[in-house]
Amino acid sequence: MFVVSSCKEDPVVIPEPTAGFSVAIDGKVATFTNASADADTYAWEFGDGESSSEANPVHTYAANGSYVAKLTATSAGGTDSKQEVLDIINITIDGDLSDWDDTEVAFTGGGTITNVKVENLDNNKLFLYVEGTADLTPLTQVYLNVDNDRSTGAQIDWQYLMGGEDVLVEGNLSAGEEQYGALYPCEPCDGSNPGNWNWSATPSNENIADFVVASEMISIQGGLAYEMVIDLTALGKTISTEAIGIAVADMSLETWGPVGAAPVFWNENDNPEGTLFVYTFK
């Protein structure tokens, strides 16, 4: 008896690709490093309408904002994708104030505060640059009308009478960025107690670095300046998608009384409404 047999080669199993990448951001320039496995081709979408098929692209964004970058890796074994949200802004809170050179002054002040510049990442993060005289102190206050509604919020006649501010952030810049200060929500916050102290008696000073990072005072020509970023999403308030009211005050180291403000504080003659500066999100 003869037995004839034959051998077949096992089918070649092509592994499915795994998409992966890391990204380094410098201002508006994002450098992508591809970490995909078992892939032959790559398709990048940068979230601003632009794309690339390079393995390790470098992309420059035209404007500040939050973008979803997506990589699709493909081979004969299939496809896989990974995406990541990128915060693109040319401002870093590191004491190097040259980041602000191309940003125009948003509003001016009086006393120890001269100019304020503002940048934003959508309605999530608010960046502030405050410039003042040589007498600018490290005791700062930032008033925010986060819902952009002047009919709500604190209405106090000793600073911004009709500003509608919902949050007061104050602190000492000399304490360093990890211990900036405290957050005071307005309470009540419906405009029902005008002319009186409307801030919560108990500030929230836990995890300050989660929502405020500030530089120390920096010497500039003719005075002093500082920069900070406030994470609006961590304030526990509804944030307008269009605009926000902002004011900045400088406080005396001896009396804790105001020595500078932008815009200028409420008074009967020069600023009878006492409104904040309304900044429209970019």
User: Domains (ranges, CATH) in the chain?
Assistant: 21-88 (2.60.40.10), 97-280 (2.60.40)
Note the pLDDT of residue 57. Answer: 98
What CA–CA distances, in Å, run from 57 to 74, 79, 82, 261? 16, 19, 15, 46
Note the pLDDT of residue 155. Answer: 67
Question: Is the separation of the CB atoms in 71 and 21 below 8 Å?
Answer: yes
CB atoms within 10 A of CB 256: 9
3-class DSSP state of 189: coil
Note the pLDDT of residue 17. Answer: 97
Mean pLDDT by 10 residues, the chain (282 residues): 54 91 93 98 98 98 91 97 93 91 93 96 94 95 91 70 80 65 72 61 59 89 95 88 94 88 76 82 90
Beta strands in 133-222 (DSSP E): 139-145, 167-172, 181-185, 212-214, 218-220
Note the pLDDT of residue 2. Answer: 44
Residues with Cβ within 8 Å of residue 5, at least 6 apart in sequence: none
Note the pLDDT of residue 74. Answer: 98
Note the pLDDT of residue 66. Answer: 87
**Structure-block tokens of residue 157:** 């006649």
